[in-house]
Each structure stands twice: as structure tokens, then as C-alpha cells.
Amino acid sequence: MARSSNLSAVEAQVPQALVVIALASCGVALVFATDAIPDMSQRLSVALLAALCYCAAAVCWMARSAPRVGPWLSIVSLQIVMFLGDRLLAVEGLLALLALPPLVAAAVLSLEEAALVSIAETLLLWLYTASSPGQVRTHPLVVVVAIWGSFAVLWGVHRSLQRTAAWAWAHTRRAQELLEQARDRKAELQQALDDLAHANRQLALANERTAALRLIAEQAQQAKVAFVSRVSHEFRTPLNMIIGLVGLMVRRPYMYGREFPPDLWQDLQVVQRNCEHLASMVNDVLDLTRLDAGQIALRRESVRVTDIVHSALEIVGPLLERKGLGLTVDVPADLPPIVCDPTRIRQVVLNVLSNAARFTERGGITVGAEVRGDSMLLRITDTGPGIAAEDLSAAFEPFWQTGSGSQSAGGTGLGLSISKQFVELHGGRIWLESQVGVGTTCYVELPLSPSNQGGSMPWRWNREDWEWRERDFIGARAAATPHLTKPRVVVCDETGGLGSQLERHADLAELVSVASLEEAALLLADTPAHALLLNASSVDRAWGELEAVRGQISDVALCGCVVSPSEARAVGLGAQGHLVKPVGEADLLQAVQSTGRCVRRILLVDDEIEFLTLLRRMLKMALPEVEVFTATSGAQALEKAARLLPDLVFLDITMPDMSGWQVLEQLRRERTAEELAIYILSAQDPGQQALASPFLILSTSDGMPVRRLLCCALQFSAMLLGPGR
């Protein structure tokens, strides 16, 4: 406020100074004019007027610092000088200068005060004219017009300046407000940037912790699978003993020298049935654990649905006949084949049929199949008790069983859960429709061919929805990115041990299988790909084949590995095959027949004496003419094999002194496969063991410069040793 007052005072002093200068200049002019006037009285009048101008200038100069008195003294001084000048000088038109005081008042004071000055001058002019009639040399009307004309001009200019000033002031205030808002937004933006930087730091820490927690979870999952596998191993060996011995008692009671009482025979049947149920539960738990850990791979091949259905019905058929249930099969013979894992799909059909047979007491079961679009739909309907609508959503949960008849029907409650995961691994779906008291229908929908097999031409990468959509860009980008950015890998699997395992990782890459490197070269010549992955039987073979084809394939990373099927290890070391415990009499007989020769002597090698006794008894009962010998350690097995020269050896893997693999290698060095057939015995299923490659060969058509070689080494070290490995 003080600053505004000071500014107004300074602005008022400028016109006052001009008035002082004007008065002083008039005084000087009048002094010089006296020399040219011959009349003494006239000269005295001019001198008097000049003195009056000096006095008025002096008074105005002394009063210039007074904010209100100074301007009014200047205005009054001008008016006095003009009226006295008109009276003393008798100059025509001098009173017209009365238009100047309103201008000074408007400049120094305000427009309202300039109007008061104009009114006052008009009144003074009227009094002056009335007091001196005939002596006024300037017509009063001219003076009045000059006074009010100047005021009108002042008023118009003032209004225009007022509007301009108001506009400028409004925009100035708006600019100040915008400036304040910009400062506030800048502060908010800076705060947001600081918060974003902090959030990024927290996110980076969270990502590191998530990677570590993921690694811990994966290790825990692996530990769980290892624990279940170990427990299953410990379960299978005694279960094999119990099932085998009880089976011998039930089927051949005469071998014990007397016939069992009926009650004891029935109890043995109960024991056998419950042991088989327990063995089935162990297998189901193992399958469920491997499914959760992602360790089950599909071995796809083209099969007919009719063969799968009839194969499952052969197993369930006796149960249907025993319960007197009807069976209707509506599976057309001309249905197209589907590409799937026949073992897993047969297990799905078998699980559903077994559930239907166990829970159905009257009526029958209907099995149907049809093609719908690019999918095959299997339909299994029973006339059982049905499932309540509120329980349908829980039917695929592990260990769930319907309350109706669950105790008498038996089962583990894992069949549907395992079946659901097998079907989803194939890219299909399974669901139930049921009505209490009427029955249940299970639908299994499977694609006719796997969806991850890429086309062979470049236009398969084009998308129909390629048009740009600004509004839907964020969602469309999230939906389209996995399809557009998925790398393409051509797989040449010579050993057959890698292709099926890679299919469960199809979310990482688009896999295209070829039969040979020549076919891969032809495919890559027409179709782009990110890498060629060759799986060979040995490192030397992989390197030789990649070196031979390196010049034919350009702009593609060449990768070589050595991954053999787990079950092929025994065959690769010279064994005839691999038997998984529990081993029954039928398994032993099939192994003997598969040798294709006359077997006279058999050597059983296992550190479990009871298991050896069971196997020996099974073989003696089935093949009484064959000599059966046993060994409880690797050293004893080698000694007896050299001394007795058996025709067939059943060899356990886990033994106290040396492993079965070491015994197998030693036996193969001494006798050929034509002289000695060997079967590996194990409680671990080799087909479910994780595959690994001890080597990875990388190459390109033009080689790898040193810098790229170093970058590859760093990248691979980060992948192999980092938390996300």
C-alpha cells in the first residue's frame, strides 16, 4: 500500500513540474516582450504579469511535495495567470487557454476533479464576463467550448484507457493466477516424479524379492516332488511284497501245503484289494504332484478315438459285467484321428468310466463321440445317483467325493482332478452336467491337432486385427503382445527325448518340429525363425551336424544339445528294458518272453531279501523248469554272473556297495546282449524323471566375434546363476 502511494506521488509531481516550467517560461517571455512595448503603462502591466508568473511558479515549486495541495495550487495559479493576462495584456483569444487547467487536473488528480475544475472555470468566466462587460476580448462561448471540448476529449481518452487498463489488469491477474497454478503444478509434478522414483526403487526391490521368493517356491516345489517320489519308493517296495505274496496266497494256496479256511481266504482277498487300492492311490498322488510341478510332458501322436475308447472299455468291462450294467458305445468308426498323448487320454477316459461304473448300481453307461468344429467331443453318460448342482464346481478338486455312495464305491477322489489337468495340457476342457436321481454326463473336448504348431509361410504372422485403435490400444497391446512377440524355434529331435518335453513350454516359444536338418534348412529358407535347436545322441554328433549345415542356414542361431529319454539310459547302457515296481508275475513273464531265447537260468539282484524271495517264488511258480538264483549286492551279482552264466538278469539300481548302473556296465564288458539279457528294476518311473542336457553348443553362419562371444558368456552366466534360473 505504501509503495502504491509513493508511486502516485511521483506520478503527480511530473505534471506539476511541467506547470512550473510553463509558468517560468511565460515569465521569461513576458520580460523580453517589455522591451518591444513603447507604452510605459503597458510595459508595467507586462512586467507585473511576468512577476506574477514567477511568483506562481515559485509557489507551485514549493508545494510540489504536498500530494493534494500542490496540484490544486498549480491549477489555481494557471487560472489566475490566464484571467490577469487577459485583463493586463488585452490579447485576443488568451482566455481559450483556460482549457489547460482541466487537462492538468485530469493528469494530476482525477477525471471527476477535472470536471469540477471545468465547472469552476465556467462559473468564473461567467462572473468575469458579467463584471467587465465589453472588455472581454475572447468570446465567452469560444472559451466554454474550449474548456468542455478539452474535457470531452479527456473523458473519451480516459474511458478508452480505463477499458484498456481494466483489460490489461484482468489479464495480468489471470496471468498471475496461471503462473501460481503453474508453480503449484510444477511442485506437484516434482513431487510426483519423486514419488515415481521412489516407487521405481520399491518396485525394483519387490522384483528382486519376488525373484528370490519364486526361487524359494520352486525349490520347495522340487523338494515336495522329491519327497513324494522318495515316499512312493518306500511305499512301492513293501506294497510290491504284500501284493505279490497275497496274490500268490489267493491264486495258489496249494503251494503252502494245505488249503486255507474260507474266512482266511476272504480276508486275504480283502487285503489284496486294499493293497491294490493303496498302490493305485500312490500312483495317483505321484501323477498329481508331477502335474502341479509341471514335470509331465505329453508324447503326442496321431491316434483314433475308437482305439482309445475300446482300450479303456476292456479294463472297465469286467466291472460292468459283474454289476450287471448295460453299455452303449456310439463312437463312429469314420471319426478323424486326433493328435494327442494316447496314454494320458486313455487314462482320462478310464478315470471317467471307472467313476461311472463304481457309482452306478442300475441302468448302464453310454459312451459317444463326435466332431465339433476343430475339436473332438467325448461324452460319457451314466444312470448313477447324480451330483447336486452346488457340488459340481468342487467335483474336480483333489480328494473330493460325492456324498452319495462314496463309502461303498471306493476310489481316491483324484481321478477327475488328474483328468482335468491332462485335458488342459492338451488345450482342451472337461466339464460335468448332472441331475440328482437321473445321472451324470461328463464331456471331454480335445483339439484335433495341437495349436502351437506354426504355419510354414510368413503370412501366418499377419493378424486380422492389425488396425490401429487409439482408445483400445492399452488392452489390445496386452492381448496381442504374447502372440506377436513369441519367438519361433525349429526343433530337430533325432533321439526323440526332447520334443515332447518342450511342448509343455510352448508358452515361451512357438515350436516347429522337423524330422531332419535338411528339412530344417528348406523350412528356414522360406520361413523366418529365431533359432534352430538340434538334439543329438552325442556332443560329437551334434557338433558335426551343425558344422555341416552351418553354411546352408543364415541369420539363425544354431543350438545343439544332448538330451536322451530317461528310460533310454538303461537301453543305451545295454539293458533289455526297465521294469517299475511293483512288479507282478505277468511283468516277469513278459520280460522272459521278450528275450527271444530259451531262458534256463535267471539271476535276481536286489538288496531287499524279502523282495528277492517274492520274485523267486513268482518265477518258480510260473516257470518251474527255470533255475533262479539271487544276489543281494553288486559284488555278489558280478561273482555269480561270472560263475553261473545266467541267461537273464533282473538288476536293482539302488544297492549298498555299488549302483545297478555300475553292475550293468561291468556285465556288458564281460558278455554281449546276445549272450545275456538284463532288465533294470526300480521304484522310480524313468519316464517321469526330469531331462537335462550336459552340453549346449551355440553357433551362427558367420561365426561369433569376440565381443559377441563375451556378451553371450555374460548372458548365459546371468541365466544359469541368477535368481531367475
Q: What is the DSSP string of 49-93?
A: HHHHHHHHHHHHHHTTT-TTHHHHHHHHHHHHHHHHHHHHH--TT
Which has the minimum average pLDDT: 518-522, 702-706, 712-716?
702-706
Which residue did the predictor score with more confidence, 358 or 399? 358
φ/ψ region of 304 (left if φ > 0, alpha if ψ in -120 to 50, else beta) reads: beta
pLDDT of residue 459: 43
Summarize pLDDT for 290-342 with one digit per residue, the tens: 666 665 666 677 888 888 888 888 888 888 888 888 888 888 888 888 888 88
Query: Is a pLDDT exceeding 70 seen at residue 569?
Result: no
Which residue did the predictor score with more confidence, 129 or 636? 636
Pairing of strands 301-303, 338-340: antiparallel
Residue with cell 512301492: 236
- Quick one: pLDDT band at residue 380, thresholds 50, 70, 90? very high
Name all domains of the chain by residue range, CATH numbers in brackets.
Answer: 2-138 (no CATH), 301-447 (3.30.565.10), 458-565+693-721 (3.40.50), 568-688 (3.40.50.2300)
pLDDT cut 70: percent of the chain above it: 68
pLDDT of residue 190: 92
Amino acid identity, position 164: T
Amino acid identity, position 36: A
Number of residues that make up the chain: 725
Amino acid identity, position 579: L
Query: Is a pLDDT exceeding 70 seen at residue 41?
Result: no
Sequence-separated (6 or more) residues with CB below 8 Å from residue 136:
86, 95, 128, 129
pLDDT of residue 179: 92
pLDDT of residue 725: 47
- Quick one: pLDDT band at residue 122, thresholds 50, 70, 90? confident
Query: Is a pLDDT exceeding 80 seen at residue 439?
Result: yes
Question: What average pLDDT is seen over the chain?
Answer: 75
Q: What angle do CA 533, 536, 539 make, to 5 degrees?
A: 105
pLDDT of residue 471: 43
pLDDT of residue 196: 92
Query: Is a pLDDT exceeding 70 seen at residue 159?
Result: yes
Q: Chain centroid to CA 428: how far?
A: 23
Which residue did the predictor score with more confidence, 652 or 15? 652
Cα–Cα distances (Å) from 625 to 462, 600, 602, 641, in that order, read: 70, 7, 11, 19
pLDDT of residue 29: 64
pLDDT of residue 182: 92
Query: Is a pLDDT exceeding 70 seen at residue 349?
Result: yes
Mean pLDDT for the stretch of residues 67-82: 67
pLDDT of residue 687: 47
Measured distance CA(118)–CA(98) in Å, rounded: 9
Cα–Cα distances (Å) from 465 to 457, 468, 469, in that order, read: 19, 8, 10
φ/ψ region of 494 (left if φ > 0, alpha if ψ in -120 to 50, else beta) reads: alpha
Query: Is a pLDDT exceeding 60 seen at residue 462?
Result: no
Which residue did the predictor score with more confidence, 712 or 281? 712
Which one of 233-247, 352-366, 583-597 scores highest in mean pLDDT? Answer: 352-366
Cα–Cα distances (Å) from 574 to 593, 663, 665, in that order, read: 18, 11, 8
Task: Give phi and psi for 604, each to the nearest 5.
Answer: -105, 125
Mean pLDDT for the stretch of residues 437-446: 90
pLDDT of residue 688: 47
pLDDT cut 90: percent of the chain above it: 7
pLDDT of residue 603: 92
Summarize pLDDT for 472-500 with one digit per residue, the tens: 444 444 444 444 457 888 888 877 667 66
Cα–Cα distances (Å) from 347 to 190, 354, 418, 566, in that order, read: 62, 10, 9, 22
- Quick one: pLDDT band at residue 37, thresholds 50, 70, 90? low
pLDDT of residue 39: 61
Which residue did the predictor score with more confidence, 99 or 655? 655
514, 545 contact by CB (below 8 A): no
pLDDT of residue 60: 67
Measured distance CA(472)–CA(649) in Å, rounded: 68
Query: Is a pLDDT exceeding 60 seen at residue 186?
Result: yes
- Quick one: pLDDT band at residue 551, thresholds 50, 70, 90? confident
pTM: 0.48
Which has the minimum average pLDDT: 8-12, 245-249, 269-273, 500-504?
8-12
pLDDT of residue 608: 82
Measured distance CA(393)–CA(414) in Å, rounded: 15
Mean pLDDT for the stretch of residues 399-419: 62
| Residue 524 parent element (H or E) | helix 517-526
Which segments within 193-337 are labelled E, that is strand? 301-303, 326-330
